[in-house]
Structure 1
Amino acid sequence: MDTLYDRYEIRHQLGKKAGRQTLLAFDRITQQQVILKLLTFSADFVWDDLKQFEREIETLKSLTHPAIPTYLDSFELNSPTQKGFVLVQSYLDAPSLEEHLQAGREFGEIEVKQIVKSLLEILRDLHDRHPPLIHRDIKPSNILLGQSLSKVYLIDFGSVQTLVNQAGKTVTVVGTYGYMPPEQFGGISTPASDLYSVGMTAIALLTGSHPADLPQDNLRIQFTPRTPISQNFMDWLQQITEPHPSQRFISTEHALSTLTTVIERSYFESPNYLKEAVIDSVGMSIKAAVISAGIGTFFALLWGGATGLMLGAFGLMTGILWGSAVGALNGLIVGTISHLKFYSLKNLVHHQLTVTVVSVMSIFVLGVVAFSGTSGSNYSYSSPDFRWVTLPAIIITTIAVQFSNYQLIQKWYRRKRQ
């Protein structure tokens, strides 16, 4: 089927399960890409599928949220080869967290906390409705991640349920094993059930493993040994994934506000990579730059350059200024990257490679900008005297700070293992 009703051009299939297909299509009228969800009356069709399909349509119709797909249309499918129903919704151009995991991406604590925070903000809007709307199938494959950690989208509302009474009793057991809470196996769902699934999703991101594959003790997932995270976040995860719903956070707002406090507290209590990196880098850079500037001055004198005293003073000044600038810049780079991207210290090789590439490129740009502006001075970049003094400082300092970076990052990983 290439075109549906002369309007939707089928591009390719995104997913398929019993009696259901998810397709990416192009709408000839709106000139936009859309998502088509097809429910067909095949041999494995069951009536619960139709109930969930209708529920998703009604739910999307009632929702207007930037982080949830927009309902566009729905109609009956009646072709010679297929019969069923079609839901048309907006296309969100973002991969799922499951796709990121399958591609081998590793998520650090800071990344996971930001993703979870964004997800809880979506759920807060759903749970604050009257009656509350419970998703019941939160997992990595139903969460899309945009170009930033704050761009999180929640999809697949086929399992959604409203809280119809105080007990929150429902009649259909839905969800995904490993992510759904114990009470959901008994057909009971409350907002706390979604919170449990959020916690399990966070654990999956931190460990790279499906929660069902992790060991359990009295229905509690044992993930501590495999996930080096801060104690505050560990406590938060343990509470949100408590087996009994009454022991979890009392509301989505409570979970969100507590997580916000954890994030703020972690910022001040986390290892101060930035301070340590700047101090270490500035010291190494100044020493390397002064020594190399002195070497440059010596060679310039041998070649019959400018007055030795003046050139020596210029070399010393160049070394101190250049070393301070490079040290500060490199320290900021190392500290910032380490805190934001490699906070959990899980990948030494990737950590060192990332820091080296960004640091070398940044120092090169700094050198071009700094020394290209001296052409109007007595010692211009084009003069042999200037080059003999400055070029060794640039080259040797760059090498020195990379060696310093290597030693510092190695020290961090050794300290973590102790």
Structure 2
Amino acid sequence: MRTWTPPEIPALPGEGPAPKLHNTSSGRLEHPAFPEGRAMLYVCGITPYDATHLGHAFTYLAFDIMQRAWRDAGIDTVYAQNITDVDDPLLERARETGVDWRDLAEEQIGLFRSDMHRLGMIPPEHYVAVTEQIDEIAAAVRALLDRGLAYRVPTGDAAGDDVYFDTDAAERASQWRLGDVAPYDRELMLRLSAERGGDPERPGKRNPLDPLLWRAARAGEPSWESTVGEGRPGWHIECSVIATGALGGAFTVQGGGSDLIFPHHEYTAAHATAISDTPLAHLYSHAGLVSYQGHKMSKSRGNLVFVSKLLDGTHGGAPAADPSAIRLGLLAHHYRSEWEWHDSDLDVAHRRLEAWREGLRRRGEEPVPALAVLQQLRSSLANDLDTPVMLASLDAALDRGVDDPDLIADAALALLGVELRS
């Protein structure tokens, strides 16, 4: 699957420190290891039916900033992202709108690529759709069945059985333990499973938390022939196979929104470890969720703010947004925070952007040393990507003026993806 044209990232003098990052699994700030000076990042991609709203953008921006920090520290990066282009929400939207699911997915993937390019996001080197990996995913399910780590559940209304992962057997046979990624109690896991695509009440399962690996073919649904039977993949095994196929095992960071911690990232790690007996990732990093009009952005509530509409000036009658202003509106919040977007946030971001651009032209009597500002930016970036502090540092410096405007413009573009030369 093709990606998008990468943004310009200017070279800066010297190198910044590698960032400490919050590990969801341990609850601590940690320094990931970088074998051979390389960081490998996997971020869960979109299910292409409501692309791209600001909640998506906030997540992908967090990992864009992470890569910029690594690159500034002299660390090579390899980035992989999937596209869940066959899944229940996509199929439901296709039925509701009377559009073929493949056409809907293609349209939305194209829109997502356009949004990411216009926002200046670093593209993944590996951009892989689930439908491109059906055989590989089926082979992984087959391997789990053969090792006694998966089992079949009769459906009664489908041509074959569904296949489920055996949580208890995997704990006995591998180094993975339930809660390794998501340190939640069982009651919370059961509730989240029911809310986030699981089926804890499904009869015939050995453990209510056992997730679906392969869904037997149903009438009116896409399906593929495989060694497991005709059907389509479950959600978590898709990312296990795509991530390890692109990056190998025990890669640097598994990332995504905080709503993916459980069950998705927990069981993505479980499947990968059960197959290879190698942990999926060293560190699990999660971005906070964004609300609008008092609730988390979601298609069910219809409270989505779309990046394309902001950029095109078709959101609520507001003028077309500068992509750098959208980035600033999001970067004003720490990537792990839960927060609410207000339409006025974009006005505030535009004012900040214009103040910075004006500040580059300011020639004060005692300008701030640009190298000192760069050091401040790098220090904040190294502290778990603390972009709000970075913005405050630039506010203060550009209010007085700096002795090397070109360096500050390069730093804003390289580290924050914000264009100050207009």
Q: With the length of structure 1 as denominator, give the TM-score of the two structures.
A: 0.24
Higher helix fraction: Structure 1 or Structure 2? 1
Q: What TM-score, normalized to structure 2?
A: 0.24
Larger Rg: 1
